[in-house]
């Protein structure tokens, strides 16, 4: 009986220790079942979900209510110094995606907290979306659809689509997404130009594209310009009045990168004055954009609500990678290639 009691006590103590040692995670509700299952397989993880649309004040309140919080998986929610304080014991910050302009990397580095993203998980999806927008604009999909549905069949030869074959595309950025888009555009038999000051001409030419070192000089050559660079102080308003005026009046601008890289007021002026022919926009300076946004009234723009990288498959890949990122960091061995602030690894 004495031995049985000691065993019981030991089991209770082990149970108490496991409960005490549980890592607490705040996980955005868009994490897919695969990613959630990987976290649930561990006995030392407690997950608390939050909505992707949560306000900064409510997110901070939630962190404080559940503190200490050891890890977060973020969608669009911002994270910085205030959130670090509110969490109490943050060990890792992850994004279900690759962009991190809403995260204060400097603040995380100061506290030696790794910021981790999902690498190439959504890159093919964004590349496909950019190609889709090019095709939709070239083939005048929205206009022709409206002609049929409004009984204007006889006007079909007024709205004539054109081919991507032989057209020139300028891709801004030759990273995870840009490289994949170039591969797809080369397959469409387009002439492809690439502007990326951080990549060698040899690497770009090996992909079947032409490397251009002067963006302003390349713009007048392009029928399509597709943006695939990160948002940074150097790229905010990268496309404003001066750049748009250098484009052909028959050219289209595609932005599936980040809002703010394109000056929206300048874009509206260019689209309404005939400076360029049209645009495909997945991202906005303010998200969600206000309901009376001037671009909404234009017929020569197609739009999406920042979902270029959010396909069913991409979300599954990103969620699974996010879960792996969190666990690797909590176990003391963060997956190095997915850490943005590499200084915390030294």
Active site amino acids: 258, 287, 306
- What is the per-residue DSSP string for 12-52? HHHHHHHHHTPEEEEEETT--HHHHHHHHTSTTEEEEEE-T
Give yes or no for a contact between 192 and 171, defined as CB atoms under 8 angstroms apart.
Answer: yes
Name, in order, each residue with C-beta under 8 angstroms of 52's C-beta and a sequence gap of 6 or more.
28, 29, 30, 75, 76, 77
Strand 252-255, strand 69-74: pairing: unpaired
Helix (H, G, I), strand (E, B) or coil at 172: strand
Name, in order, each residue with C-beta under 8 angstroms of 284's C-beta and a sequence gap of 6 or more.
259, 264, 293, 306
Q: Is 297 exposed, middle or buried (0-12, 13-18, 19+ CB in 10 A)?
A: exposed
Tokens of 170: 């300028």
Q: Give, as one character, the DSSP assignment of residue 262.
A: B
């Amino acid at each position: 009986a004495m031995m049985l009691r000691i065993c019981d006590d030991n089991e209770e103590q082990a149970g108490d220790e496991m409960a005490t040692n549980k890592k607490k995670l705040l996980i955005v509700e868009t994490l897919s079942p695969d990613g959630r299952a990987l976290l649930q397989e561990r006995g030392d993880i407690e997950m608390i979900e939050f909505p992707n649309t949560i306000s900064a004040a409510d997110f901070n309140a939630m962190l404080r209510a559940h503190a200490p919080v050891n890890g977060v998986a973020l969608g669009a929610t911002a994270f910085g110094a205030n959130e670090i304080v509110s969490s109490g014991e943050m060990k890792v910050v992850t994004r279900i995606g690759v962009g991190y302009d809403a995260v204060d990397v400097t603040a995380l580095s100061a506290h030696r907290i790794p910021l981790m993203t999902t690498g190439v998980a959504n890159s093919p999806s964004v590349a496909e979306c950019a190609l889709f927008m090019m095709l939709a604009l070239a083939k005048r999909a929205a206009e022709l659809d409206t002609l049929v549905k409004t009984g204007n069949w006889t006007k079909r030869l007024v709205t004539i689509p054109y081919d991507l074959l032989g057209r020139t595309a300028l891709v801004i950025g030759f990273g995870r997404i840009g490289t994949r888009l170039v591969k797809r555009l080369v397959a469409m038999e387009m002439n492809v130009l690439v502007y990326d000051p951080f990549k060698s001409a040899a690497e770009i030419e090996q992909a079947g594209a032409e490397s251009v070192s002067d963006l302003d000089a390349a713009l007048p050559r392009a029928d399509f310009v597709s943006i695939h660079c990160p948002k940074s102080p150097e790229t905010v308003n990268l496309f404003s009045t001066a750049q748009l005026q250098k484009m052909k009046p028959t050219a289209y601008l595609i932005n599936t990168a980040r809002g703010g890289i394109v000056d929206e007021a300048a874009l509206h002026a260019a689209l309404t004055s005939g400076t360029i022919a049209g645009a495909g926009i997945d991202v906005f300076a303010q998200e969600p954009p206000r309901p009376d946004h001037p671009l909404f009234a234009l017929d020569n723009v197609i739009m999406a609500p920042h979902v270029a990288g959010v396909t069913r498959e991409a979300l599954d890949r990103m969620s699974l990678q996010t879960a792996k990122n969190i666990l690797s960091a909590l176990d003391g061995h963060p997956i190095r290639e997915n850490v943005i602030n590499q200084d915390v690894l030294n």
